[in-house]
Amino acid sequence: MFLPRCGVPDINFDYNLSDTNTISWPKGNKWFPKGKKNLTYGFDPEDETPPEVIDVFRNAFMRWSTTTKVLNFTAVTSYDDADIKIGLYVSNNEELADVVVLGGTIISMQLNSSVKSGEILFDASKYWVLPTDDNDTLSWQDGIFDLESVAMHQIGHLLGLDHSFDNDSIMYPTILPSHQRKVQITDSDNQSIHDLYTTAIKTDVNYGYVGSSSGLITSLFLGFAFLAMLN
């Protein structure tokens, strides 16, 4: 069985999810309009998101904004108009039962429009714990996952960060038994975000990936598994 992992693969490419919609992953690039510093986020109204969960995301967005001093985030009630859309997905694909993909981040664009939106999606079948719960005993081996940690990771992707090879980083792609709750932005995370926003970075399909061919294949498999779960 795979370690629980983010659904964002370690290379980037465009994928036609339907005849009218194309998606990509926010790797190493700023998908929102140049110069825009204030982004809005909203929750899918069909999910009836509890206030406690909304608070988790508000705190996560605030932590990124305060620490990096790069962007500001504001909650809006209009989900369709939000720059960042947050929602749940449910997979009934039994063939992917052993693939523990907690969620992912995608950039969505309608083919008849140049407007892009960021989407954060979480697996509704998982048991998510809140910061007020007893997180000292949580364990993904028992099917329990820390919502705030995963939210921090996915927001990092929307800011343009790749996966990190630093075990302590919020952007590490898998949940390790010894690192099941990570919500504090490390110095390396902060440096990466400032490098991204102060340095002109060339983005191509292989940006940010350093590793073995088997690791790349695994990453791609999990990325497509995440897409399959959305269908």
Report the binding-site residues for Zn(2+). 6, 153, 157, 163, 171
89 phi and psi, to 5 degrees? Answer: -135, 155
From the number of C-beta atoms within 10 Å of its C-beta (0-12, 13-18, 19+), residue 56 rates as buried
Known binding-site residues for Ca(2+) equal: 47, 83, 123
Give the whole-angstrom CA distance, residue 127 versus residue 133: 12
- CA 205 from chain center: how many Å? 18
From the number of C-beta atoms within 10 Å of its C-beta (0-12, 13-18, 19+), residue 228 rates as middle
Handedness of CA 191, 130, 57, 123 (dihedral sign): positive
Residues near 208 by beta carbon (within 8 Å), at least 6 away in sequence: 10, 11, 27, 28, 162, 163
Known binding-site residues equal: 6, 47, 83, 123, 153, 157, 163, 171
Both tokens of 47, joined, read 């999910």
In our burial notation (b when 16+ CB lie closer than 10 A, e otherwise), range 140-176 reads beeebbbbbbbbbbbbbbbbbbbbbeeeebbbbbbbe
- Closest Cα partner for 62 from 200, 183, 214, 225? 183
